[in-house]
Amino acid sequence: MRFRIVAIAALALAASSAASRAADPRYPDWPCTQAKVPEVSLAAVWAGPPLDDVQDKWKDNAKVGALVSKLAARKTPLDDAEKSVKEFLASSASDKTANAKLLFAGLFDTLNAQRSSVMNGLERVTRKQREAADRIRDDTIELQRLQDATPRDDSKVDALSNQLIWETRIFEDRRKVVRFVCEVPTAIDQRLFALGRVIQQEME
């Protein structure tokens, strides 16, 4: 039992140590192997007409707002989203350019906000993992002390052993979730770029 507990704790702490070595020292809490790009620039995803005259106006258009929510949802397959863009702009007639600009402005705002929320969440989890690693280390040291004590209090040893197993399990579960969620900002970037391209094509 003692070897098992120490081994589990050592694995968790090793994972924490690897995660804490940020690839970019500017973002010490960023846990992903992908480089952190805090914001997507408009120029990187939009080569259409300027959006200065629309900006937040898309929020005042109920039809555009509803479509933006649908297109920005990750549960909406990209193929379906692209089809919805084409159908919407095909029905826009003389207002196609204006509606296209409103639609992309809404997507840019909404997907950027989603992206920021995900990235902030990842960094919060990193800080929690660092705190958890500290607790695991301290509890491991305490467990070793209790195991070596004379006389030995088996009830305390068992209680702390169970606590350590629980702590390391949570630590490992979070680590797996982080690895999965690290893919989300890139997926959002790709979605924004793909939908922006379709919108621009439909404007031509």
**Side chain identity, residue 61:** N
The pLDDT of residue 53: 85
Alpha-carbon distance 159 to 163, whole Å? 6
For residue 174, the tally of other CB atoms under 10 A from its CB is 18
Cα angle 19, 24, 27 (rounded to 5 degrees) comes to: 80
Angle formed at CA 80 by CA 78 and CA 84, multiple of 5 degrees: 115
Contact 31, 122 (CB under 8 A): yes
* Token code pair at residue 127: 């800080």
What letter would DSSP give residue 54? T
Would you state the pLDDT for residue 25? Answer: 84
Per-residue pLDDT of the chain (204 residues; tens, 9 = 90+): 555 555 555 655 555 554 455 567 889 999 999 899 998 999 999 998 889 888 789 999 999 999 999 999 999 999 999 999 999 999 877 788 999 999 999 999 999 999 999 999 999 999 999 999 999 999 999 999 999 999 999 999 999 999 999 999 999 999 999 999 999 999 999 999 999 999 999 987
* Strands (E) located in 86-180: none
Q: Which pLDDT value is given to residue 24?
A: 75
pLDDT for position 200:
93
* Sign of the dihedral through C-alpha 144, 150, 154, 160: negative
